[in-house]
Chains A and B, each alone.
Chain A
Amino acid sequence: MPRFSWKNPLLALTVAGALALTGCGQGAGSAPTASASDPVTGGVLTYLDAQPHTSLFPPSGGFYPNGGLVNQITDRLVYQDPATLEFQPWIATSWEVNADATRYTFTLRDDVTFSDGTKLDAAAVAKNFDLYGRGDAARALPVSEAVNNYDRSEVIDPTTVVFHFKAPAPGFLQATSTINSGLLSPATLDGDFTFYGAGNGTKVIGSGPFVVASEKIGAEVVLKARPDYHWAPKASANQGRAYLDEIRYVVTPEAGVRVGALTSGQADIARQIAAPDEAVVTASGAHLVAAQTRGVNNAFSLRFRNATLSDIRVRQALTLGTDRQEIVDTLFTDNYPLATGVLGKTALGYEDLSAKLTHDPARARALLDEAGWTPGPDGIRVKDGQPLKLVVNEAAPQPRSFDVTTLVSQQWKRDLGVDLQILRADAGTYTKAVNDADQVQVNHTMVGRADLDVIKSNYAAKNRNTLLNRNLTDNTIGDQKLEDLLAAVAGTPDPAARIQASQAVQEYLIDQSYVIPLFEEPQVFATTDAVHGFGTEPIGRPSFYNTWVQR
């Protein structure tokens, strides 16, 4: 989603200028304090985010500012350990899945209440997933991306609920653990799209350790701890109320202000620390927390249904001609490891495909020659009088997208004779162009989700469709084999077979040169010495339940 920003040269100049004026830097800070001390209850934590939230409807939790709030105000049926990715009881004390993963039975705790006092029982859980699994177009509420093949719920008794699926849904257990499946009170679920929007935070009722206490639209959200909270996941060190009394989410669009406010002690945690700012943060004595997003790597999707890219030799040449190491080395830090395959190393089902992702510009040029693209007078290759010109989108939410695409554009021009243009446009033009393979042939994307389904989310025709395998105007599928391979990931009940299905997709995407993986994308936070016990859930959204401050 493109957004207004002051990034890049202007900001760099400004910050540099401002730092020069102020004598640069804040001096050496103190060494990190040991977190071994006992947690302290009480205190206010100030958290800086670049953007305001747009919705507290849990299926919209993929947008970071939304997910960062939903994660604190809702509980989920199942807890997924962010380190091991194992599942543990939370609101559900146990669960059973039938052999073909079409029926899930959950047994629930009977001592959980929503913050409006209503009981969190089987009927409430059923109502949640009926909405998330089906959506409601009349209220402009989309189906949750995490829930596939949903059919219906069945309430057996107040602590037992069964979900039925139209086809195998092996990813559903993980889906119940994601922010997208945050449990809301039955009354909250009657809201429409506008109800979940800005300004209504205090009306969105969950059972989580925090509740929305107040909100200044577009500027600030204040969360307060729920004193009676005592249903944390078993694995959590804390089992009672959250340690913090209050969290203030302050919207701070300017990267320079986020970093400066943190290093000068005006804030405790800041999200979206850009790679070039990392040194400033550590030099001030603050700490970086880089949480991996455990999904499809930051990558270029090559839209193979476009005439130019339909030739596999061209796609191979673009892959071989991309110096991925140079991107990581010049634009990023150690927190952004070079991609070694389609998925991140910490993602489920990850397969190392680095042997197939070599850098060989000479071979790339030979392939382009072979494909009939010969060097033109200005260095750009030509075939049948047409220059080899491609367009890539600037993906504003992704780290340094414009710099990444600019560097690749330079590499391709210099080493291959390919003219790569970058699409920077207003939101409307952008959305239209990105959905058309003849306007944007190279799609810069990534997606995080701690389940094997993540690969389907990114490439399947009915999900994000980043390769535009499905043409959006005539609905035709270009590569049915890819669709079948992706369907197998989402629909294979046996866990081992499902991993194999995911790896088959990963190999196929690389063998067909559909994807050029660039780097593993983290969420980078900065925290001050005062902050202890800060963590993230499996795809990098902040979790404050176990966090405390000691000043």
Chain B
Amino acid sequence: MTARALGSRVGQAVLVLALAFTLAFILLQALPGDAVLIKFENPELGLSPEEIAAIRTSYGADVPWWQAYLHTLAGFLRGDFGFSIQNGAGVAGLLAEVLPQTVTLSVLAFAAAVVLAVTVALLATWARWTWLRNALASLPSVFVSVPTFWLAMVLIQIFSFRLGLVKVIGAGPVEALILPVLTIAVPISAPLAQILVRSIEDVQRQPFVSVVRARGASRWWVLTRNVARNALLPTLTIAGVLFGELVAGAVVTETVFGRAGIGRLTEQAVANQDVAVLQAIVVLSAAAFVTVNLLIDLLGPLVDPRLTKEVGLAA
């Protein structure tokens, strides 16, 4: 990619981030109530309206929206994301603490999903018996229709509570990852496997496969050396889109397993309308999304050299 093309991509990314920030701000401001209201006007605290008014002033919750926008934007540019009203912690610190947990979970879950998808797809296209091929090929539909929440509960009940193989409470760092990773990997693997199966079948119908076969290559050899490589590109493209699923999966999984992470933080921030936290999460997610898709665009030509022309790489 030329420097100019790269610059344009980065410019697009910044624009997407700015739009995400603004949209999030507008939507969050449009919600009825605000975090100060929810936290301090909660009847359980029994504060008088005068006390609440004083607290609102001390929080700067009474300024007009455009002042709040500029203030928040300036803060973000400085790397200061404000404070969570719900628990008083600094948002930047909160994110720094939970981000590694979610990244570890997501990366491992994605890797597991790829392994699962490739295994299913290869077996589904290689198996000799039609019934087995059909059974394997229908697995993705089963995987995708399993609700994450239900899967998590079933995995916990069986492997932790019933068989006692993995602890959920008081588990070591590796042990604590096993069931959550599986929980997220299963639904993510479904579309990957589906597309892989479809594109392997497409590639297998192409003339060059017959040529290779005619020269004496085994089915497995053709599948792994020739077909799979060609079938990878559509799968890679969908992988970028699946990133969003990873985050959604983390919300449920982290809640069920009681893991600290971006998912849990999001769930709690939504429940309490903790605007500062939500604002930061939206921008962070947008940044991650933009980055992942940029990487996939850059990876494409490496997997399939034909793409270099379309991307416009100066050869």
Contact = CB atoms under 8 A, between A and B. Distances in A.
Contacts of A17: 150, 154
Interface string B53-73: 011011100000000000000
B33 A434 contact: no
Interface in B29-73: 31-34, 37-38, 40-49, 51, 54-55, 57-59
B7 interface: no
A437 B57 CA distance: 26
Given A137-B51, A264-B161, A253 B150 contact: no
B88 to A, nearest CB: 2
A462 B260 CA distance: 38
A338 to B, nearest CB: 24
A499 B175 CA distance: 56
Nearest to B48: A462
A176 B59 CA distance: 30
Contact of B160 (A197, A264, A466): A264
B174 to A, nearest CB: 17
Contacts of B192: none
A18 B44 contact: no
Given A18-B157, A218-B264, A261-B161, A194 B44 contact: no
A337 interface: no
Contacts of A54: 86-88
A142 interface: yes
A540 to B, nearest CB: 15
A463 B48 CA distance: 7
Contact of B88 (A198, A256, A435, A462): A198
B273 interface: yes
Contacts of A434: 43
B201 interface: no
Contacts of B259: 219
Contact of B34 (A138, A264, A428): A428
Contacts of B43: 434-435, 445, 464-466
Interface string B155-174: 01110111010011110000
Contact of A194 (B38, B89, B164, B255): B89
A218 B271 contact: no
Given A2-B271, A54-B86, A197-B84, A21 B44 contact: no
B97 A254 contact: no
Contacts of A2: 271
A23 B163 CA distance: 11
A70 to B, nearest CB: 14
B161 A26 contact: yes
Contacts of B162: 22-23, 26, 264
A252 B258 CA distance: 5
Given A142-B47, A143-B47, A252 B41 contact: no
Nearest to A19: B157
Nearest to B34: A428
Contacts of B98: 217-218
B22 interface: no
B103 interface: no
Contacts of A266: 160, 167-170
Contacts of A263: 161
B244 to A, nearest CB: 19
B147 to A, nearest CB: 8
A139 B59 CA distance: 9
Contacts of A52: 87, 268
B258 A431 contact: no
A525 B204 CA distance: 61
A4 B37 contact: no
Interface in B84-110: 84, 86-90, 93-94, 97-98
Contacts of B89: 194, 197-200, 217
Interface residues of A, number: 77
A151 B267 CA distance: 42
B83 interface: yes
A4 B268 contact: yes
Contacts of A138: 54, 58
Interface string A356-372: 00000000000000000
Interface string A44-77: 0010100011110000101100000000000000
Nearest to B87: A198
A333 interface: no
B124 interface: no
Nearest to A397: B44
B258 A253 contact: yes
A253 B153 CA distance: 12
Contacts of B46: 145, 457, 462-465
Contacts of B83: 194
A264 B165 CA distance: 11
B267 A432 contact: no
Contact of A219 (B84, B86, B154, B260): B260
B149 interface: yes
B123 interface: no
A138 to B, nearest CB: 5
A432 B33 contact: yes
B247 interface: no
B138 interface: no
B272 interface: yes
A260 interface: yes
A257 B268 contact: no
A195 interface: yes
A216 B260 contact: yes
A15 interface: yes
B54 A137 contact: yes
Contacts of A197: 84, 87-89
A480 interface: no
Contacts of A435: 41, 43
20 contacts: A4-B271, A14-B149, A14-B150, A18-B150, A18-B154, A26-B162, A52-B268, A54-B88, A142-B51, A197-B87, A198-B88, A200-B89, A217-B97, A254-B258, A257-B258, A261-B161, A426-B31, A427-B38, A428-B37, A428-B273
Given A266-B167, A426-B273, A428-B37, 4 more contacts: A6-B255, A10-B149, A252-B258, A434-B43
Closest 7 CB pairs of A and B: A197-B88, A428-B33, A137-B54, A219-B260, A194-B88, A198-B87, A18-B157
Interface of B: 31-34, 37-38, 40-49, 51, 54-55, 57-59, 83-84, 86-90, 93-94, 97-98, 149-150, 153-154, 156-158, 160-162, 164, 167-170, 255-260, 264-265, 267-268, 270-273
